[in-house]
Amino acid sequence: MAAGRLIVCPTPIGNLQDITLRVLAALREADLIACEDTRRTGTLLRSYGVSAKLVSYYEQNEKARAAELVRRMHGGDVVALVSDAGMPLVSDPGYVLVRACVAAGLAVEVLPGPSAALAALVASALPADNWRFAGFLPRRRAELEAVFSGMETLVAFESPRRVAASLAVLAALDGQRPVAVCRELTKLHEEVVRGCAADLAARYAAEPPRGEVVLVVGPAPSSSGANLAQAVAAVRDLVGAGARPRAAAGVVARLTGTSANQLYAAVIAAPADAGDSASASR
C-alpha cells in the first residue's frame, strides 16, 4: 500500500468562518484527525458537516502518539493535524509529529490559515518589516528584559493575569515604548488597545484584560555600546556588589550611552529580586 502523509491544518482562532476551503477538504479527506481536544475539534467539524475519526494529540502524549501515527501513515493513512486554534506547532503541539514524519520519509503538507500572531502584528500599527515572534513571554524578570531588548517589533502571547506585570517590566525599561494589547482576536469582543508601556501597564494593573491576549511591542531604541536591558542588568550587578544605585547608574550610563536617570528609575522601580519573587508566585 502506498505510504500516507501528514496534512497540517490551521483552524480558526475565534470566528469559525475563518476556516479555509482547503482545510475543510483536507479534513474530509483524512482517515484520521489528530487534535488537542476532541470535543473542541468535534464542535468545529459538526458546524461544517465533517465526519471524521478523531484521536487526541497533546503535549503529554506527543511522543507515544507520534510513533503510532507514523505507523498509520506508513500503512497508507492520511492524517490531518490540528490544534485548538491557529497553526499547529506555533506555541501548540505538533513539532514531535512533524519531525517524526520527516525522519520517516513521509510527506508533510502544510496549509495556510488563521494566525493570531500575524493578525495582531497588522492590527498593532507597529513596524511589520522586521519582527520576531517569541511565543509565550518568559516569567523571570531577567529573561523578560532580554526579550524586550530586541531591535525589532516583538509579537508574543501572554496570560491575561500576567499582562500588567509584563508591561510593568517594559515600562521600567522604557515607559514610552509603543505597545498594542490585542485581545480576543476575531471573536465577538475583539479589542486592540494601543498606547505606551507606562500607560497600558497602569491600565491593566487596575483592570486585568479577559480572554486570549497577544502583545505587540515596538522595537527598542538603539543605544551606543549596549541595549537598555543590558545596561539595567549591569546596574543591578553593581548594586548587588554594594554600589549605590545612583552612582552605579551614572557609571553604566557613561559606558553605554544610555540615560542615567532612566537606568536609575528602572532599578529603583523594580529590583531584580522583586521581579523574580513575583514570577515564582505565578
Model confidence at 273: pLDDT above 80: no
Give the other-Cβ count within 10 Å of 26's Cβ: 20
Enumerate residues 6+ apart whose C-beta is below 8 A from 74: 3, 4, 104, 106
Q: Range with the lowest mean pLDDT among 93-97, 111-115, 149-153?
A: 149-153
Model confidence at 270: pLDDT above 70: no
Model confidence at 152: pLDDT above 50: yes
Residue 207: exposure state from Cβ atoms within 10 A (0-12, 13-18, ≥19) = exposed
Strand order in the sheet with 107-110: 54-56, 32-35, 78-81, 5-8, 107-110
For the entire predicted model, the pTM comes to 0.77
Question: Strand, coil or helix: what is 269?
Answer: helix
Q: State mean pLDDT over 78-94.
A: 95
Q: State mean pLDDT over 140-148.
A: 88
Model confidence at 278: pLDDT above 50: no
pLDDT band, residue 275 (cuts 50/70/90): very low
Q: Please give the pLDDT value at position 279.
A: 37
Which residue has better confidence, 221 or 173?
A: 173
CB 72 within 8 A of CB 32: yes
Q: State mean pLDDT over 43-53.
A: 94
Model confidence at 276: pLDDT above 60: no
Rounded Cα distance between 114 and 20, Å, is: 9
Model confidence at 274: pLDDT above 60: no
Rounded Cα distance between 232 and 248, Å, is: 10
Rounded Cα distance between 144 and 229, Å, is: 9
Model confidence at 256: pLDDT above 50: yes
Closest residue by Cα to residue 6 from 84, 86, 76: 76
- Residue 156's identity, in one-letter code, is A
Q: Is the dihedral of CA 24, 78, 9, 52 positive or negative?
A: positive
Closest residue by Cα to residue 10 from 117, 152, 107: 117
Helix orientation angle between 163-173 and 197-206, rounded to the nearest 10 degrees: 150
pLDDT band, residue 269 (cuts 50/70/90): low
Residue whose cell numbers read 546596574: 235
Give the other-Cβ count within 10 Å of 146's Cβ: 15
**Above pLDDT 90, what percent of the chain?**
76
Rounded Cα distance between 116 and 87, Å, is: 9
Mean pLDDT of the residues in the chain = 90
Q: State mean pLDDT over 232-249.
A: 91
Q: Please give the pLDDT value at position 224.
A: 42
CB 266 within 8 A of CB 239: no
Model confidence at 249: pLDDT above 80: yes
- Give the DSSP per-residue string, 40-70: HHHHHHHHTT----EEE--GGGHHHHHHHHH
pLDDT band, residue 2 (cuts 50/70/90): low
